[in-house]
Amino acid sequence: MASLGELERAVMDLLWAGHEAATANTLRDLLAQTTAAHGGAAGHEGKDLAVTTVLTVLSRLEKKGLVERERGMRPHRYQAVSSREDHTAELMHEVLGSAPDREAVLARFIGSVTESEAETLRKLLGHS
């Protein structure tokens, strides 16, 4: 049995690649296919993957604000809230942005540099 973390990742990859809403059943089948394609890699027994497990994973992702459910239709169809690129951009905005407490949250190799500093460093690179 793959860990919930790995399954979350696999489900998000499918939703990001698919661009359209999918039911838990569809996702379960797709997960089984991917596993089969990888030669039934250790532990990841797609066949045994229960729909309830997929639903658990989806509800965890929903709680994290990464997937949303289409209301009113049964069975529920799930889709990614935003694209992989948007999430990466959000993450990088947090890293590169100038939020006041960012400095306490993570330590960047290089903090913000101004254009004039960058220019000077480029010149320095040219000389070395």
Chain positions contacting another protein, by CB under 8 A: 5, 8-9, 12, 64, 66, 84, 87-88, 90-92, 94-98, 101, 103-125, 128
Min separation Cβ 128 and another protein, Å: 7
- Amino acid at residue number 46: G
Query: Could you give the C-alpha distances from 65 to 27, 40, 62, 78, 109, in angstroms and in order?
Result: 18, 30, 5, 12, 29
DSSP 73: -
Min separation Cβ 113 and another protein, Å: 5
Looking at the Cβ atoms of 39 and 97, the one nearer to another protein is: 97
Looking at the Cβ atoms of 1 and 92, the one nearer to another protein is: 92
Min separation Cβ 28 and another protein, Å: 19
Looking at the Cβ atoms of 42 and 124, the one nearer to another protein is: 124
Looking at the Cβ atoms of 12 and 24, the one nearer to another protein is: 12
Dist CA 12 CA 18 (whole Å)? 10
Strand, coil or helix: 121: helix
- Other CB atoms within 10 A of residue 18 CB: 14
